[in-house]
């Protein structure tokens, strides 16, 4: 913390956006003041923007905000940003949402109607954000993992039998591998894995070769790799899958927050993403599914909200998306996701993407020059755009030592481990890697800070040799 530093903050709720400023008065405290009337009714999202109209003004972001500032995909929970200051603001500004805390009979009714309206509004925002043709094609889930399990248990168990094949890349996150292993064990369906090319991207030629008109029923691919930073040609893959009569499921966790994603243009059948990677709360994610596919799918979980009628001997089910949203949903979180979508849309996804490509190249080029550093995934070029992240190792050092030293000594948070992609790490011949990743609120100065800190970290560890 820099005592006396002036900060500016900015946040929004489902109701409105507010901003203000403050002064850092102690290691723990920032005295905040508001600009304009303070009308926030309930916290639904909070972030800071470094790209334009700088929101957090400090000599160095990293000096104020210990871990996670550099770490949209690298913090422990891989959330988009959760530095201490944000948590502090959240504590200061949180007010129980009127939707959820009404105590008078009349307000309860009005509030619950309003909660439903806002929840459905959030669904429409998600639908528009990914260009679904109807909002009923969006199912709210707990996260992307649950969305993938929903497809496996509902679509998978009703459509796959022994001998059918699911084509998956070895670079998938565990959440896009394990549900299919469970399904395969129970149905006898077979998993076919796509490996990497020499450039360390999933081999799309091999993927094409694995597709079989008779056997392939599903293709499961990520859009952007959370380790390799590579971007797959989803539109082409969707066409290849459809040519053999297969369905395609896209794990868009690392693309939806960072670029414009258009499910109709891509031609995908299913797509999943998580809210907490896009400046929005944890506890909610979504599944996009083509309406005719969702309409034919049986429920995943049974209970309240997903029924049409319940009798003692049987029940009938609601239409999608309610059929797949059993029980009380994460109402506030979904509304928060809607607010984050407003915020991201206001900046513009193309703008975010272009800015991040520039940051990605800057990160890669600078990291690449450090002796002993090995970066995984493709080298950026005119035709190859990397996402704004680098997974790497330093010769002779363990990634966890690097991450710990960077955090403790420099306040720079990167992540170390297998990043929920063990098969990919095995394929690369390693157990673990360090990963630095950026979002649109990061700057080239943040990258410079990181590079300086990494050089110091390497010098520290090599001084013992
Ligand atoms: C590419 C990718 N897929 C899936 C997931 C799983 O997301 P969640 O844990 O929110 O379900 C992640 C999370 O890190 C991810 O990066």
What's the pTM value of the predicted model, to 2 decimals?
0.82
What is the mean predicted confidence (pLDDT) over 196-212?
98
Q: Is the pLDDT of residue 171 over 50?
A: yes
Catalytic residue among 253, 279, 390, 420: 420
Residue 56 has pLDDT above 50, yes or no: no
Evaluate whether 100-344 and 349-462 have a shared fold.
no
Angle between helix 349-368 and 444-462 (nearest 10): 30
Cα 135 to ligand 1 centroid, rounded to whole Å: 23
What per-residue confidence (pLDDT) applies to 346? Answer: 86
Q: Where are the domains of the chain?
A: 6-95, 100-344, 349-462
Is residue 208 scored above 70 in pLDDT? yes
Handedness of CA 192, 197, 198, 201 (dihedral sign): negative
Higher per-residue confidence, 169 vs 10? 169
Is-contact 397 420, C-beta < 8 A? no
Distance from Cα 419 to the centre of ligand 1, integer Å = 9
Closest residue to atom 14 of ligand 1, CA basis: 78
State residue 21's pLDDT score: 53
Count of CA atoms in the C-beta half-sphere (13 A) of 371 = 4
Q: Is the pLDDT of residue 402 over 70?
A: yes
Is the beta carbon of 173 within 6 A of some atom in ligand 1? yes
Output the CATH code of domain 100-344.
Answer: 3.40.640.10
pLDDT at 52 over 60: no
Q: Is the CB of 5 under 6 A from ligand 1?
A: no
Is the CB of residue 274 below 6 angstroms from any atom belonging to ligand 1? yes
Residue 111: predicted pLDDT? 56
> In angstroms, what is the span from residue 415 Cα to ligand 1's centroid?
14
pLDDT at residue 65, as a whole number: 34
Residue 20 pLDDT: 52
- Rounded Cα–Cα distance for residues 421 and 443 (Å): 27
Q: Which two tokens stand for residue 296?
A: 């034919």
Q: What is the CATH number of domain 349-462?
A: 3.90.1150.10
Is the pLDDT at 107 greater than 80? The verdict is no
Nearest to 168 by CA among 199, 186, 190, 191: 191
Decide if 390 is catalytic: no
Count CA atoms closer than 13 A to 391's CA, side-chain side: 25
Segment 352-358 shows an average pLDDT of 95
Note the pLDDT tens digit of each residue in 272-295: 999 989 888 888 999 999 999 999
Q: What angle do CA 180, 181, 185 make, to 5 degrees?
A: 115
- Regarding the beta carbon of 415 and ligand 1, being less than 6 Å apart is answered no
Q: Is the CB of 144 under 6 A from ligand 1?
A: yes
Which range among 34-43, 220-229, 408-417 has the greatest average pLDDT? 220-229
- For ligand 1, atom 9, the nearest C-alpha belongs to 145
């Amino acid at each position: 913390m820099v005592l006396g530093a002036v900060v500016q903050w900015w946040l929004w709720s489902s109701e409105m956006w507010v901003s203000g400023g403050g002064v850092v008065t102690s290691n723990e405290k920032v005295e905040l003041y508001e600009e304009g009337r303070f009308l926030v009714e309930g916290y639904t999202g909070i972030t800071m923007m470094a790209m334009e109209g700088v929101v957090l003004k400090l000599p160095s972001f990293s000096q104020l905000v210990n871990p996670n500032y550099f770490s949209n995909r690298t913090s422990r929970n891989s959330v988009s940003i959760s530095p201490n200051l944000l948590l502090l603001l959240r504590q200061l500004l949180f007010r129980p949402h009127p939707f959820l805390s009404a105590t008078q009979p009349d307000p309860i009714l009005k509030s619950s109607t309003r909660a439903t309206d806002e929840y459905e509004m959030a669904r429409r925002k998600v639908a528009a954000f990914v260009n679904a043709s109807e909002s009923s094609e969006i199912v709210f889930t707990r996260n992307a993992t649950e969305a993938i399990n929903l497809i496996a248990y509902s679509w998978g168990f009703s459509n796959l039998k022994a001998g059918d094949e699911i084509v998956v890349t070895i670079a998938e996150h565990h959440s896009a591998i394990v549900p299919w292993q469970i399904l395969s064990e129970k149905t006898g369906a077979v998993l076919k894995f796509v490996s990497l090319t020499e450039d360390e991207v999933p081999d799309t030629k091999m993927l094409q070769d694995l597709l079989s008109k008779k056997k392939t029923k599903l293709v499961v691919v990520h859009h952007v790799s959370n380790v390799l930073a590579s971007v797959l040609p989803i539109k082409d893959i969707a066409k290849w899958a459809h040519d053999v009569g297969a369905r395609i499921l896209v794990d868009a966790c690392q693309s939806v927050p960072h670029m414009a994603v258009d499910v109709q243009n891509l031609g995908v059948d299913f797509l999943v993403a998580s809210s907490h990677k896009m400046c929005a709360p944890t506890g909610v994610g979504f599944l996009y599914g083509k309406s005719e596919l969702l309409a034919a799918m049986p429920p995943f979980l049974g209970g309240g909200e997903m029924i049409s009628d319940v009798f003692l001997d049987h029940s009938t089910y609601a239409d999608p998306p309610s059929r797949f949203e059993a029980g009380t949903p994460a109402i506030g979180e979904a509304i928060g996701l809607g607010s984050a979508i407003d915020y991201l849309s206001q900046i513009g996804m193309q703008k975010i993407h272009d800015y991040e490509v520039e940051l990605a190249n800057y990160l890669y080029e600078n990291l690449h020059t450090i002796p002993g550093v090995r970066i995984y995934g493709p080298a950026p070029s005119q035709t190859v755009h990397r996402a704004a992240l680098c997974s790497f190792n330093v010769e002779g050092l363990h990634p966890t030592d690097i991450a710990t030293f960077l955090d403790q000594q420099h306040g720079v948070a990167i992540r170390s481990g297998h990043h929920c992609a063990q098969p990919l790490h095995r394929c690369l011949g390693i157990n673990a890697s360090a990963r630095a990743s950026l979002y649109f609120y990061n700057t080239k100065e943040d990258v410079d800070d990181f590079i300086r800190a990494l050089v110091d970290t390497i010098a520290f560890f090599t001084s013992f040799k």
